[in-house]
Amino acid sequence: MSDLGDERREYRWTGRTGPFTLTLTPNVFTPTHTSRLLAEALELEPGETVIDVGCGSGVLSFVAARLGAGRVVGCDASPDAVAVATENAEALGLSDRTEFLVGHVLEPVRDVRAHVVIGDISGIPDDIAEVAGWFPDGRSGGPTGAELPVLMLEDVGDCLLPGGRMYLPTGTIQAESRVLEAARRIFGAKNVQRILSRELPLPDVVARSKAVARLMAEGLVRLRRRGSRLLWQLSVWRAVRA
């Protein structure tokens, strides 16, 4: 297990199936608005198998387990995240139904056949992520924020059973159209539906950055101004495998 060091802190999850407490470290991504919206969007039948891509602290894996999933396999490129998620599972009494593996995108779960894939990986452009400091391990979504989500979509293959669902977050803070184009190509346009959305303010340090101005000028991100604030829209899509 990774050396997690002494800088641990507790995080209280108050989203769906909460409240419960997670342990986090500086190198592990803190749950976000995206985590909360995905938790709200999840639809599970009792006993289903779930893959949680980019599991971080394990929060959405635990939501899925508490909603009745029979098996949840989380994966993350960060060894620290996998170690923290494993410890959190033990503390929450969910280690019998959850496991966590280190690897890039879906590589460590090639042998898993899931009814549901939670696709919560970074869709934040590299330059915006650098300004925001949102990613403690430096892993963001690529130059436009679409590259990593598109890779996940193209990589899902046999991991998702016929009739299975992927829950995919997108945002107008990334090149969202490129992600949706890939999802519709892979799943079929009629099988990709938006099920939830929220409008959120950008932090001032991000809104005033040259990175945001450049990406807006290039038409890669779409933001709405309300008074002095810039707003972006977060959506969750359900993509069903035919």
Beta strands 229-240; 160-171: pairing state: antiparallel
Q: In this structure, is residue 208 part of a structural domain?
A: no
Beta strands 229-240; 192-201: pairing state: antiparallel
> 30-59: per-residue pLDDT in tens?
999 999 999 999 999 999 999 999 999 999
What is the number of structural domains in the chain?
1
Q: In this structure, is residue 157 part of a structural domain?
A: yes
Domain extent, residue 83, equals: 9-198+234-240
CATH of the domain at 53: 3.40.50.150
> 118-155: per-residue pLDDT in tens?
999 989 999 998 888 777 665 689 999 999 999 999 99
pTM to 2 decimal places: 0.94
Quick one: 175 exposed, middle or buried, by C-beta within 10 A (0-12, 13-18, 19+)?
Answer: buried
- DSSP reduced 3-state for 59: helix
